[in-house]
Structure 1
Amino acid sequence: MHEVFQRKDGPNVVPPSYGNELEILDAKALSHFGMRITDALSAQSKSIEMRIVKTEDASVVGTARRLVLATDTDFPDVSNHMADALADAQKSRGIPGGMLLVFDGKVGGDAKPFVGVIKAEMQSGFQRRSAAAKVVTEFLENIFLTPATRLYKLALFISDDVAVTASTIWRCFVFDSNITARSARECSRIFL
């Protein structure tokens, strides 16, 4: 997980705050995470398959390829390139910052590798929980991926091969909360 910030002044990129290690989710959290991704990508009015133009090693697809091949130790450092690409692509000061989650896995009956990238907004809220003999209300800051928070962008890069190589063909599916029929061409610029 990385944090990408809103630009403050002119063309200057605010460097991301990088996560230094893998986040391991428990079964309940992983199930919720999977449901958010599935719900977003199945919202067909907000999801499209993109044509991939850049495939060299320094591109986002090149980074996806390196992530699939990375060890758990190397994954966080390699995923920094996704945060850098997003921070660089957000040219307008009007684009909000957010959490950038980079994850991998396998999909389909033949278990093809994929890499996902989510930009999610953060918000504050309250939580009620039992503590000792009473119920406690806590104020929480910087929460994300709740059912009420927006996913701004979600990209899923799926390998056409089970064993990824330099020549592997990739498919890219993008969910964008701002997509309209008129803006479909522009919707995923920040991921390309």
Structure 2
Amino acid sequence: MPLENVTIGRVCLHEVHRRPEEGPQLVPTFGTGLLELDQEAESAFRSRVIAAFKSTAQCMEVDIREFGLGSALVTGVELIKLRDTQFVNHSRLFAEALATAQISRQIPGGLMVVFDGTLGNPATPFFGLMKAELHEGFIKTANLQARFVNDLFLSPKTKLYKIGIFISDGVDPRPDLPEGWRAVVYDSAMSAAHRDAAATYFYSNFLGLNIPENAARQVKKFFEETKAFIKAQDIPEKDKVDLYNGLYAYLKLDRGNTIQTSRFAKTYMGDDLGDDYIAHMKKRKFPAGAIAKDISELAGVLRWRKFKFPRAITLSGPPDAIRDLVAVDSVNGDDGQSWTRITIRAQLQSQE
């Protein structure tokens, strides 16, 4: 989901260390003041956050599971109301919570970046929690020399960070949390075939968030609304077949574990049709962000691809076989009617 009209307020850094081989988790190294950013640095930080939550990024709207005392939500709601000096001290609670959530030695240390600001129009408050891993690189010095450093973070090409953002609806006070708040997370690992432990420790153990339980229904709605859009288009039948094949491939064959309207449009549609499709899905109130790809409610539907013709004639087969072997074209018949020509790039094996 894209973030619009973003302003960054206060930023504070703490460092969380990798869990040692033996003994308890190390106490974080706490920052002592707000991060001082000049205009260029603030613009760069803001751009990193916005870029992560563009509709093509690995972001997802999630459910707020924990909203009691000590939860990330309650700690953050209290945080954004505090003065600057209190902000720094209160933000330490997030570093401590992240250190506790990192239960495995395989999880690297990194910086706990706590920040707040406003977004949207009209502007409403938000607070953000970022885990930024440190990485190596070279810094250019005078006379075209270079210095090696191992404490770089937030480099645009090395997206070693995860972000959770809690967004208010602007109505205050809200006595019944989590009412009035929603959450989105960014993690590049969400595009992998399987979620790794790192993603789980961050959005679940640390932030207290859940992947929506209705993901299966959302995926079914994605399938049905996309089919309806394709069917309604005034384009050649061959192009419709290609789009249907793309839809089946995207849901069944693509190894990613999320779906997203913008990603489908970019992969299978041209710019104009893709813009129309995204507008169609937005009108149908389908989320712009990534959705967990739970195809359990479509298991039977995705097993076979079918073409139906008059007088009970049906051509069917697995979606990948249809995509690879079958070509469908609309042609003008001898009787002046539109006919369908089917080409199967394989020999007939049997008939009954």
Which category describes the TM-score, using the shorter chain as reference length? 0.7 to 0.9
2:96 pairs with 1:80: no
Aligned to 1:146: 155
**TM alignment of 1:8-47, pairs within 5 A:** 8-9=20-21, 12-42=24-54, 44=56, 46-47=58-59
Please report the RMSD computed on the Cα atoms of aligned residues, expressed in angstroms.
Answer: 2.3
1:191 and 1:55 map into 2 onto residues whose CA distance is: 10
Aligned to 1:158: 167
Aligned to 1:178: 189
Q: Percent identity?
A: 36
Q: 1:48 to 1:32 in 2, by over 3 A?
A: same
Aligned with 1:31: secondary structure?
A: helix
Q: 1:91 to 1:145 in 2, by over 3 A?
A: same
2:106 pairs with 1:94: yes
1:166 and 1:68 map into 2 onto residues whose CA distance is: 16
- State the shift of 1:162 in Å: 5.0
What's the CA shift string for 1:92-142, capped at 9, x where partnerless?
Answer: 111111111100001111221110111111123222244xxx445333341
Whichever structure has more helix as a proportion of its residues is 2
Further displaced range: 144-153 or 88-97? 144-153
Aligned to 1:119: 131
2:188 and 2:113 map into 1 onto residues whose CA distance is: 16
2:55 and 2:120 map into 1 onto residues whose CA distance is: 19
Give the number of equivalent residue pairs.
Answer: 189
Q: Of the candidates 67, 70, 93, which is equivalent to residue 58 of structure 1?
A: 70
- State the shift of 1:150 in Å: 2.5
Aligned with 2:70: secondary structure?
A: coil
What's the CA shift string for 1:2-58, capped at 9, x where partnerless?
Answer: 111111135722211111110121111111111111111125462111100211231
2:203 pairs with 1:191: no
Listed as ranges, the gaps of 5+ residues in structure 2 are 1-12, 209-352
What's the CA shift string for 1:118-171, capped at 9, x where partnerless?
Answer: 1111123222244xxx44533334121112333331001111125455446211
2:123 pairs with 1:107: no
Q: Choose 1 or 2 for highest CA Rg.
A: 2
TM-score by length of 1: 0.87
Aligned with 1:74: secondary structure?
A: helix
